[in-house]
Structure 1
Amino acid sequence: MDNVMNATKVTKDMLVGDIVANIPGAAEALMNAGMHCLGCPASQSESLENASMVHGLDPDSVVEAVNAAIAEA
């Protein structure tokens, strides 16, 4: 897995908890993409791909939306 602390882009294999904790602006971007449970215990150890599928979201679309938002930040 990528080192999230130094990541400039989100990938679908990253853990949601790591993304939120280490990438500025990612939490807001994830919520805007439809991921509204960032504080739930399962999200801390769940990949972005799995979390997206659980919520009926296309993982690739979520990754694109989050990366676009953090690139603008």
Structure 2
Amino acid sequence: MFKVTEDMTIMEVLQMDREVAPIFMSFGLHCLGCPGATMESIGDAGRVHGINVQDLIAELNKFFESK
């Protein structure tokens, strides 16, 4: 089973399933196609945007567990 960690990039997760895009956007990460999405970890992006990274990771993993 695929498990999301905060060390992964947004793009890595999107490549596993593009249907997770609304989850990222609901947490305020709207620029899914920008260079930062391919280079910056989810943890770093979350800290820069002031979001709770653990909540985001939990939502992403819940999505993949339901697949």
Q: Which has the higher contact order (CA 8 A, sep 6+)?
A: 2
Structure 2 residue corresponding to 1:32, chosen from 26, 34, 46 = 26
Q: Percentage identity across aligned positions?
A: 31
- The residue that corresponds to 1:66 in the other structure is 60
Return the TM-score normalized by structure 2: 0.79
Runs (4+) off by over 4 Å: none
Q: CA deviation at 1:30?
A: 1.6
Return the TM-score normalized by structure 1: 0.74
After superposition, the CA RMSD in angstroms is: 1.8
Unaligned runs of 5+ in 2: none
Unaligned runs of 5+ in 1: 1-6
